[in-house]
Amino acid sequence: MKILIVDDDPINRTILQRLLGKEGHDVFTADNGRDGVDGFALHQPDLVLMDIRMPGMNGYEAAREIKRIGPSRFTPIIFLTAVTDEEGLVQCIDAGGDDFLTKPFNRTILQAKIGAMERIRQLHARLRLQKEELELHQERVHQELEVGRHIFSHIVRAGNLLDAPCLNHWTSPMTLFNGDLLVASYNPSGGLHIMLGDFTGHGLSAAVGAMPVADIFYDMTAQGFSIGDMAEAMNVKLLSIMPRRMFCAACLIEVDHRQKSLVIWNGGLPDVLITDDKGQVVQRVVSSRMPLGVARMTREDRKVEILEMRPGYRVFLHSDGVTEANDRTGSMYGVERLESHFDGTLPPETLFHTILDDLEQFRGDAEQTDDISLLEIVCDRAGEEPRGIEEKRQRTAIPPTSWEASFTFSAQTLKTVDPLPTVINAVMNLQAPSGHRERLYTILAELFSNALDHGLLKLDTRTKTTPTGFIQYYTEREERLARLDEGSIRLELVHRPRASETEDPEPRGGEIHILMEDTGSGFELDQIHTQLQGNTGHGGRGIALVRSLCHSLEYQGRGNRAKAVYRWTV
C-alpha cells in the first residue's frame, strides 16, 4: 500500500515509517496539515495516518479537505491521537476519520487496523467499479429504450389523426412507454375510426402489443373494414404473439357524420359515456365483450352497438387509470367522482378540461400507478377534417389504362364477410386516381348497401326516421343477414381513359362504369328521398349522395339494377 503519514512529531513519523516500511508499504510523510493535503494530492495514497494536533491546519481540517478533494475514491483516514475521551473520538469521526489509533503505538494493533482498512478500501474499489459498470449498463439501456421509444412512437403514431377537430385527448404514461394505445384514422368513406386500448401491465412489456395492433388498425381502416372486423383481426394477432397473461382491454368507435351514427365495440374498458347538449349522460355502452387476446371470437363477439348521433352529443371514454388514480393517502378517484361532472351543471364544452383539472388536483404529488388516458368526441364536429389531411392521403401517378373487373357475392359470402374493402382495394391497385379513393368508396358502399339492405334483406329505410327506429333498423339488419340463405349481388367495373381537355395528347383522367345488380325484388325508388337539400333524416340520402358524386346514375328494372358513371381527372 501507499501510505501517507501526517504528523508534526519527527519521532512519531520515524517510528511509523520504519514499522510500515518493514511490512513492504510505500511511505510518504508530511509534518503539518497543509503539507499533508498537498502530499495526498501528489501521491494519491491508499491510506492516511493523521495526527490531530498540528500547527497551522490541524488534523480535523486536513481530513475534511482530503475527503473534499478525493470524493471519487475511498481513502481511509486513521487518526493518531492521545485523546481517549468520547467527545474527542466523535470529533475524529465527524471530520471524516474512518478509525483511530492511540499513542503510544502498538505494532500488532497498527497492522490489524491497516489490514482492516485495506479490506474496506478494496471493497469500496469493487463497489465503485460495479457502480461504474452499472451506470454504463444503464446508459446503454437508456439509449436502447430511446431508440425503441422513437420506433414505437413512429409506428403507433404514423397516420394518427388525433388532431381531428372533433377529438380532445390526454394521456399520461406511467413510464417511458405507454401501455395505453390511443389512435384515430379516417376510413375511405370519410368516417372516423378511433381506438383506445389498455394493455396488461406497464412500460415496454405492455407497449409491445401496441405496435401490431396499431398496424392492423391503420391498415384495415384504410381498406374500409368495419370495427368488428378489426377487433377480430387484432384478437387473432394478439393470441398468436402475446403470452397468455397479456391482453388488451379495448374500445373501437366509428363516427359516421353522414349517417349520423356511432358504432361502438367495447371489450373490457370502462363504460363509454354519451352526453347530450346539457352535459348529462343519456346513454352508456358497457363492456359486453371480452378483452382482445383472451380467447377466440365467435360471431356474437364481433357484434357492435349502433347508436344515433344526435346534435350536441359528446362521447367520453377512458382507461381505468383515471378512476383508479390514487391520491397521497391511497384513496382512488373513483367512478362516482368522475360521473359527478355529468350532472348538467357544467357547460358541455368545459367538461373535458374540468375533469382533467379535477383529476390533477386530486392526485397532487402522489406517485402514478397506471397509464392514464381520457378522450372526448365532439359529435357536432365529426364532419370537420384536420388541416393538411390531403397531404397525408395516398397519392399516385399511375397513367390511366383500360381494365374490367367483375364480382359475384353469394348469400353465404354476404353473411360471413364484408366484401367491399377487398373490392375497393382491388380497384385502387388497378387504378388509383389521386384523391379519389374516398369518393369511389362512398359510391360503391352506397350502391352495395342499397342492393343488400333493400334488395336482398328487404329493409325499409323509412324505419330510420325516429331514434327508436334507427336502432331497430340495424338490429333487424343483423338478424335478417344472419338468416340470409339465397340471393346474390353482382358488381361489374369497366374503366376507360379519358382524353385530356387541353392540348396535352396524354390522357389525364378516366371514367369508371359501375353496374351493381342484386337478385332481390328491388325497391320503390319514388318512395326514397333522393335530394340532399332538405333531407336531415337518417335514410334516403345514399342515392342523392351517389348522384352528387357521379357523372350519371340510373336505376333500372325493379330498382335492383344500378348503373353509375364516375369521371376523374389528375
Question: What's the mean pLDDT in 117-123?
Answer: 88
Domain count, the chain: 3
Measured distance CA(268)–CA(283) in Å, rounded: 18
Assess whether 344 and 401 both reside in one domain.
no
Residue 160 to residue 448: CA distance in whole angstroms: 29
pLDDT at 193: 94
Q: With 90 as the cut, is the pLDDT of residue 319 above it?
A: yes
Q: What is residue 493's predicted lDDT score, i.e. its pLDDT?
A: 92
pLDDT band at 149 (very low <50, low <70, confident <90, very high): low
Question: What integer is the mean pLDDT of 39-63?
Answer: 91
Range 111-128 average pLDDT: 88
Q: What are phi and psi of 80, to 5 degrees?
A: -100, 115
pLDDT-derived band at 534 (thresholds 50, 70, 90) equals very low
CA-to-CA distance for 84 and 63, rounded, in angstroms?
A: 19
Same domain for 344 and 398, yes or no, is no
- Domain C-terminal end among 358, 381, 404: 381
Residue 553, strand partner residues: 564
3-state secondary structure at position 495: strand
- Domain range enclosing 435: 394-569
Query: What is the pairing mode between strands 2-6 and 26-30?
Result: parallel
Does residue 368 fall inside a structural domain?
A: yes
Q: Do 115 and 211 reside in the same domain of the chain?
A: no
The whole-number pLDDT of residue 153 equals 64
Quote the strand ranges of 31-186, DSSP E. 47-51, 77-81, 99-102, 167-172, 180-186
Give the pLDDT confidence score for residue 147 in this predicted structure.
Answer: 66
Task: Among 381, 416, 442, give the residue marking a domain's end.
Answer: 381
Within a 13 Å sphere around the CA of 511, how many CA atoms are in the beta-carbon half? 12
C-alpha 377: how far from its chain's center?
18
Question: Between residues 32 and 507, which one has the greater pLDDT?
Answer: 32
Q: In angstroms, rounded to a whole number, what is the distance separating the alpha carbons of residues 262 and 111?
A: 85
Q: What is the mean pLDDT of the chain?
A: 84
Which of 118-122, 158-162, 406-410, 461-465 tops mean pLDDT?
406-410
Q: Is the pLDDT of residue 258 over 70?
A: yes
Cα 428 off chain centre by = 30
What is the structure's pLDDT at 396? 44
- Tell me what pLDDT residue 333 has: 96
Mean pLDDT calculated for residue range 33-60:
91
What is the model's pLDDT at position 434? 55
- Between CA 506 and CA 541 the distance in angstroms is 37
Report the 3 state secondary structure along 14-34.
Answer: HHHHHHHHHCCCEEEEECCHH
Residues 514 and 446 both lie in one domain = yes
The confidence band for 173, taking pLDDT boundaries of 50, 70 and 90, is confident
Residue 533 has what pLDDT?
Answer: 42
Which amino acid belongs to residue 2? Answer: K
Specify the pLDDT at position 242.
Answer: 84
pLDDT band, very low/low/confident/very high, at 225 (cuts 50, 70, 90): confident
Per-residue pLDDT tens over the stretch 433-444:
656 777 788 888
Q: Give a yes or no: residue 151 inside a domain.
A: no
d(CA 81, CA 35): 19
Q: Are 524 and 434 in the same domain?
A: yes
374/402 same-domain check: no
Asked if residue 83 has pLDDT above 70, the reply is: no
Which of 381, 411, 432 is the last residue before a domain boundary?
381
Same domain flag for 110 and 167:
no
443 domain-assigned = yes
Euclidean distance between CA atoms 78 and 95, whole angstroms: 11
Residue 152 confidence class, pLDDT cut points 50, 70, 90? low
Among 53-57, 236-240, 319-323, the range scoring the smallest mean pLDDT is 53-57
Lowest mean pLDDT among 15-19, 274-278, 313-317: 15-19
Q: Three cell numbers at 285?
A: 355502452
Let me know if residue 27 belongs to a domain.
yes
Looking at the fold, whether 375 and 401 belong to one and the same domain comes out as no
Per-residue confidence (pLDDT) for residue 538, from 0 to 100: 42
Overall average pLDDT of the 364-374 stretch: 91
Cα 370 from Cα 106, distance rounded (Å)? 62
- Comparing 189-198, 310-319, 397-406, 499-508, which segment has the lowest mean pLDDT? 499-508
Residue 92 forms part of a structural domain:
yes
357 shares its domain with 398: no
Spatial strand order in the sheet of 561-569: 403-410, 488-498, 509-518, 561-569, 552-556
Whether the pLDDT of residue 144 is over 80: the answer is no
Among the ranges 211-225, 309-323, 432-446, which has the highest mean pLDDT value?
Answer: 309-323
Q: For residue 35, what pLDDT band results from cuts at 50, 70 and 90?
A: very high
R_g (Cα) of the chain, nearest Å:
38
Do both 373 and 398 map to the same domain? Answer: no
pLDDT bin (cut points 50, 70, 90) of residue 507 is low
Query: CB neighbours (10 Å) of residue 350?
Result: 12
* Grid cell locating 544: 342523392
Give the residue with greater pLDDT, 391 vs 347: 347
Whether residue 52 lies inside any domain: the answer is yes
Average pLDDT, stretch 329-355? Answer: 95
| Mean local confidence (pLDDT), 311-319 | 96
Q: Do 373 and 402 fall into the same domain?
A: no
Assess if residue 335 is contained within a domain.
yes
Q: How far apart are CA 169 and CA 372, in angstroms?
A: 11
Report the CATH number at residue 331: 3.60.40.10
Query: Are residues 337 and 402 both part of a single domain?
Result: no
Please determine, for residue 159, whether its predicted confidence score (pLDDT) is greater than 70.
no
The type of residue at 547 is R
Give a three-class secondary structure readout of 291-314. Answer: CECCCCCCCHHHCCEEEECCCCCE
Q: Is the dihedral of CA 47, 52, 57, 62 positive or negative?
A: positive
The distance of Cα 526 from the centroid of its chain, to the nearest Å, equals 49
Distances (CA, A) of 435 to 196, 395, 567: 29, 7, 13
Residue 139 lies in a domain: no
CATH number at residue 558: 3.30.565.10
- Rounded mean pLDDT of 370-397? 76
Region for 176 from its dihedrals, namely left if φ exceeds 0, alpha if ψ lies in -120 to 50, beta otherwise? alpha
